[in-house]
Structure 1
């Protein structure tokens, strides 16, 4: 008689972290699974736990597939020296097979010094070290120096000059990374072809000494500081955003021919229109709506959403496909676009241009009078856009100010679209997705230079397109599920317990609360946001609620979309700029037998890998876009150093306050040294810096006036001095709270005694 197998031990965050520690602090998913001894039935659960740990910051990545414990340290290992602290002591991180991981660790005093036969270790060096726990925290004790890492540094090259402005030979590199404080010295023989003001990529030279200025070697000139595109160029190189296309990709794009009607339905008489930003260069989607004429659906609507049929042109395994997968998505900088596909396709053959016949994958959706979707149907078609409109123009027409172009479209096209949208919006309000107010801002250029920053207006027209796209995305996910086909979902997990705990701590500081023990839903967050709507805390509450959310990702396993409050969701509506959508198109083509270019069996086997990759490329693009915007705004503000600005505290740390300016939405740091002579305590629960003696405080969300002390365009860094007095002590404040984490520990005291 066979024995019953015991049920598998439940997976927990603690078990996963312990398994990672046993693997040396870093490892791939399969290494963790092997250490845990789990079977195939628990792999989905493991993936979800890893995802949650990464969202919380408990795990980091040292490569596309390798996880690392963000806090734990092995007893020994290879470390790379990456920086110095405020006292000048060297800081290092563990180095794994795919990169750096773990927290910053201070080198033991004296271990940085060299010997008679060997130079002292410095930034960029790799060492074998043992980790020792001390009262001041972990400390790395060097066992052996292993050599230097090929540490890449981006920056601006400055030629060395004497007091009369004569060149001396060689120069220095001002780093583009805000985390690297010191400039690199460059000997003349290491400058290559670099000229003053060049944007360069450099590596640390060998033989750097611990307490001497670091020397670098210029490896590549990537642009000019005075190029209007300098900020974007630096961001692209920093984050590995690909620019341009291979010859093979370009050849395939130029060989492409417009699609014909074969195997398609003719939608050219359907007056589909595109509604996009004024400066849009590609047009993925077109829409049309009309009342449903079915007698049993009185007051209902038929809505068509037609999407560019990119799958017709970008076929599996082609050079275009390989390049699109590598990029993962288009990247949108303030001044330019790094497209996923060559312009021949993205701005022409695939784009749904006005008056041009274009291949599309369309979905017809039928809604009842209350916005409930009754059914939908996909088809490959050939369409001809009746009009290309901007959001502004479409909204102006609906608001009673039509232009010569929109006036003839108002009755037959625009008004039915708005009526259908209001019907669908009724169902959205019942669904109660998360409604965070996060205004977007646009950098305005004039003659290639930044002229200002303005808030993007958000019209009802934006919401109309957004809601129709959401509905089409749901249809794509539901269809593939009904057909039993694998797909890449767009998933959004519920907030982690740790983030909810942080929100619960924060809300009392703005006289609000979060009831514990209740189910976490988007509607609960909306109630908090509604309470803050007319208060002075509106902006910071929206920001904190946004930070509480997990990041949406791509995954072949469906956990739903928390923010949209949807059971199944996939990206379908933007295949010109997102590879995820192209994969969903191919899956639909195969599932519904809509002709050639469907997803292959090989692609289906790799959906997990593809989803992970395009999640990473999306995050790289977002980081690059933020960096470029920061550099452009720092350049714009560099002429206003010394000026006073209004802003608010958006972050509180032990070393200072992060401030966001009202005028430009630029973020910068007010170091703790700018807050006055008092010693400041970082009260993490109250989200504030608190005066040790006075109890006065600078809390999260506080409105402040600041003086701009420094603006560094090459790095995007801004430094402020706070001019506003701190707030009075919080009710119930006692000096006993001095025990909380402080800006200055024992090493800070040593620094004061040395007279720094």
Structure 2
């Protein structure tokens, strides 16, 4: 029975849920108040009701865009995978949480407005959709119209060529497991050999239209890194070749002169980057503030490459940049967002060369709090190019010919300023996860030489904190000037994820507050309790998984992980389109030129935010998969070898294990653990033997044997060599599992799995 209204002027919870259901992704507190005519003190009561609905898991999202779990936002990415009986395309969301039930089906409606460009799409394409307020029919849950096609299904595939040694029959073994093998005409091998990675065109032949492939390009041996990264580029449809018009536009660009810019060439700004960096988009300088009213304070200068001076709205380079969204980084190469003439030349802050930049001057008090800031469009000259390790060694007393001259006047003031800013960071208490990230060093032939976890230096932290503060300044300035921008937002954990975290931590006798959401400092206290203990890796992993994913959006909800109310990306316009939008917004807001945001651009921000957020996730996945494939290739000749590692994930299907020396992830099916039946205890993140009580829990140190390596799939399968702990010896209060009628011993063989990557800030 529906609940009664709380008062004559307040809707019931059911009324509010019904309104949100009718307006998914566009029903916020303001819209609800307007629809139900809520005014005055009743707004506070409405806020309380919305908090209760969120705590009960009945709504999620920001206060400006609420949806019910299982509903879709107004704009989202989807994959076209079927047709309905009327021949209309059906799609499913590209990203969907299985805990919310089966993925909803979305029928795609035609764009009927006059003047709207027709967008063609087909089965297998990835598209950006906008929900439509229209009947979806009996075969779908929602109706939507296409905003943009993100992927193109052209009939081209990348696959491994296989040739039978005796019959010489040839076929393609696709790198995408969703595709079936396809025969190849032996006359169309195009000089490719058995085991080569090739690009092929699939066609049909004969009376019965049998599929047959024609090899159009030999990419190379599967033993090369180029072949491995090509798989990721193809699989995720990442553009690699710039159109001729884009190259021509970039090559015609000339160097920018001083003109009306401020002259910062005398400021000894320096770049500090990875040793192998090819482009440099940020430079820094700091000094003690000489203002007598700011004793102990510092002044920090950050200069960022002025990409907006070369890439103007609506130009060929601009259209290509928004399509790419960001640069993609592989161990041996970069797929840039902008042509090399721009990214590695005119916009790269090269040592001793004049470059246009957007500069921000920030003043901090001795307590680390920012007192004021100002933005400037400048011409600068980098005094030096240093690597992180080079700068760190100089501060620690190991100077070289270059850093010796910079130590007193540039490097030490930078570290003194960082010490001041760190006070403010410590008070702010952002989320401090300790999850090492693996790096791969390649040999000259493109094969793996070394896999390592780079040391986290103060030089890294210094640059990171300077960039964070510059990003905050950009968001504050644009918000104060009421100019539209793309925020970098990070929502708090959902009530469901928080409850799962509480359940797990309770097995370690760690209590988490139950009232409302949690601040980042609460998570940090949890992480401090397990620091330098056997539980540290496990707890860091579980806390990470409890977090939402950061994204871009024109509506601000703050950044939970950084514990900041306003945050935008400003510091990397060479490699991120979101930063270029923020640069243009600052130019418009501060009257710094005519190349700012075009009139009416705020109407496109939500669409662009969806596209570049999807492009970022695409790049992260491609980068992670390439590393997985390289490691699998490196390990494929070590079948049967034993390794030490830790359990990095537990599901009802089995265990994910991460190796200590390489960080490689592999899967152990539950059906191979032993003769017992192992039940999944979700709250403890453990598999527990029903008869023996043998327990395998997240974070446990184990020894495993490599049973299978599939390089082109980036997958490893292990066999467990270690005995599990007994339930009574397991960490914390591991609950006794419920009996199940089904045994994993009877399950079908499980495929290889991949681990999830760390979410970017």
TM-score using structure 1 length: 0.80
* Larger deviation, residues 648-657 vs 252-261: 648-657
Counterparts of 1:439 and 1:536, CA distance in 2: 16
Partner SS for 2:726: coil
When residues 736 and 474 of structure 1 are mapped into structure 2, their CA distance, relative to the original with a 3 A threshold, is: closer
Per-residue CA distance 1:481-511 (angstroms, 9 max, x = gap)? 1101111000000011111111112223344
Per-residue CA distance 1:640-686 (angstroms, 9 max, x = gap)? 11111001111112222111111110111112232122222222222
When residues 52 and 380 of structure 1 are mapped into structure 2, their CA distance, relative to the original with a 3 A threshold, is: farther
2:79 to 62, 65, 73: 62
Match of 2:219 in 1: 223
2:521 maps to 1:520 = no
Counterparts of 1:288 and 1:424, CA distance in 2: 14
2:571 maps to 1:573 = yes
The answer on whether the counterparts of 2:493 and 2:517 sit within 8 Å (CA) in structure 1 is no
Task: Map 1:71-220; keep pairs closer than 5 Å.
Answer: 72=101, 154-162=158-166, 167-173=167-173, 175-177=174-176, 180=178, 184-186=181-183, 188=185, 193=190, 195-200=193-198, 217=213
Task: Map 1:291-690; keep pairs closer than 5 Å.
Answer: 291-447=288-444, 448-517=446-515, 519-690=517-688
* Larger deviation, residues 238-247 vs 192-201: 192-201
Q: CA deviation at 1:159?
A: 1.1
Partner SS for 2:656: strand
Match of 2:756 in 1: none
The answer on whether the counterparts of 1:275 and 1:388 sit within 8 Å (CA) in structure 2 is yes
Counterparts of 1:383 and 1:77, CA distance in 2: 52
Counterparts of 1:206 and 1:37, CA distance in 2: 59
* Larger deviation, residues 614-623 vs 183-192: 183-192
When residues 478 and 74 of structure 1 are mapped into structure 2, their CA distance, relative to the original with a 3 A threshold, is: closer
Per-residue CA distance 1:516-569 (angstroms, 9 max, x = gap)? 225400000000100111211111111111111100000000000000100100
Counterparts of 1:371 and 1:597, CA distance in 2: 34
CA RMSD of aligned residues (A): 4.0
Counterparts of 2:246 and 2:68, CA distance in 1: 34
The answer on whether the counterparts of 1:52 and 1:496 sit within 8 Å (CA) in structure 2 is no
When residues 13 and 158 of structure 1 are mapped into structure 2, their CA distance, relative to the original with a 3 A threshold, is: farther
Counterparts of 1:413 and 1:230, CA distance in 2: 43
The answer on whether the counterparts of 1:291 and 1:416 sit within 8 Å (CA) in structure 2 is yes
Q: CA deviation at 1:45?
A: 5.5
Match of 2:246 in 1: 249
The answer on whether the counterparts of 1:304 and 1:365 sit within 8 Å (CA) in structure 2 is yes
The answer on whether the counterparts of 1:249 and 1:320 sit within 8 Å (CA) in structure 2 is yes
When residues 736 and 404 of structure 1 are mapped into structure 2, their CA distance, relative to the original with a 3 A threshold, is: closer
1:705 to 697, 703, 706: 703
Partner SS for 1:721: strand
* Larger deviation, residues 243-252 vs 668-677: 668-677
Q: CA deviation at 1:75?
A: 11
The answer on whether the counterparts of 1:695 and 1:733 sit within 8 Å (CA) in structure 2 is no
Partner SS for 1:155: strand
Match of 1:118 in 2: none
Counterparts of 2:526 and 2:232, CA distance in 1: 36
Q: CA deviation at 1:29?
A: 5.9
Counterparts of 1:244 and 1:11, CA distance in 2: 53
Q: CA deviation at 1:370?
A: 1.0
Counterparts of 2:35 and 2:215, CA distance in 1: 48
Partner SS for 1:378: strand
When residues 217 and 417 of structure 1 are mapped into structure 2, their CA distance, relative to the original with a 3 A threshold, is: same
Task: Map 1:269-288; keep pairs closer than 5 Å.
Answer: 269-288=266-285
* Larger deviation, residues 549-558 vs 39-48: 39-48
Q: What is the total number of aligned residue pairs between the two structures?
A: 665
Partner SS for 1:302: strand
Per-residue CA distance 1:48-83 (angstroms, 9 max, x = gap)? 445986999xx98437997487555599999xxxxx
* Larger deviation, residues 691-700 vs 260-269: 691-700
2:739 maps to 1:738 = yes
Q: CA deviation at 1:723?
A: 0.2
Q: CA deviation at 1:192?
A: 5.8
Q: CA deviation at 1:226?
A: 3.8
Counterparts of 1:270 and 1:74, CA distance in 2: 56
Counterparts of 2:396 and 2:358, CA distance in 1: 31
The answer on whether the counterparts of 2:679 and 2:737 sit within 8 Å (CA) in structure 1 is no
Counterparts of 1:514 and 1:556, CA distance in 2: 33
When residues 520 and 46 of structure 1 are mapped into structure 2, their CA distance, relative to the original with a 3 A threshold, is: closer
Structure 1 residue runs of 5 or longer lacking an equivalent are 21-27, 79-94, 102-127, 132-148, 208-213, 750-756
Q: CA deviation at 1:130?
A: 9.2
Task: Map 1:6-21; keep pairs closer than 5 Å.
Answer: none
When residues 736 and 376 of structure 1 are mapped into structure 2, their CA distance, relative to the original with a 3 A threshold, is: closer
Structure 2 residue runs of 5 or longer lacking an equivalent are 1-6, 38-49, 51-59, 81-89, 108-122, 130-136, 141-152, 750-761
Partner SS for 2:275: coil
Counterparts of 1:40 and 1:330, CA distance in 2: 46
The answer on whether the counterparts of 2:21 and 2:68 sit within 8 Å (CA) in structure 1 is no
Partner SS for 2:424: helix
Counterparts of 1:363 and 1:622, CA distance in 2: 29
Task: Map 1:33-52; keep pairs closer than 5 Å.
Answer: 48-50=65-67
The answer on whether the counterparts of 2:269 and 2:285 sit within 8 Å (CA) in structure 1 is yes
Counterparts of 1:675 and 1:238, CA distance in 2: 33
When residues 191 and 510 of structure 1 are mapped into structure 2, their CA distance, relative to the original with a 3 A threshold, is: farther
The answer on whether the counterparts of 2:162 and 2:171 sit within 8 Å (CA) in structure 1 is yes
The answer on whether the counterparts of 2:578 and 2:612 sit within 8 Å (CA) in structure 1 is yes
Match of 2:237 in 1: 240
Counterparts of 1:340 and 1:679, CA distance in 2: 51
Partner SS for 2:302: strand
Counterparts of 1:495 and 1:739, CA distance in 2: 31
Counterparts of 1:129 and 1:201, CA distance in 2: 40
Partner SS for 1:304: strand
Q: CA deviation at 1:5?
A: 11
Match of 2:46 in 1: none
When residues 318 and 736 of structure 1 are mapped into structure 2, their CA distance, relative to the original with a 3 A threshold, is: closer
When residues 699 and 190 of structure 1 are mapped into structure 2, their CA distance, relative to the original with a 3 A threshold, is: farther
When residues 31 and 396 of structure 1 are mapped into structure 2, their CA distance, relative to the original with a 3 A threshold, is: closer
Match of 2:83 in 1: none
The answer on whether the counterparts of 1:362 and 1:380 sit within 8 Å (CA) in structure 2 is yes
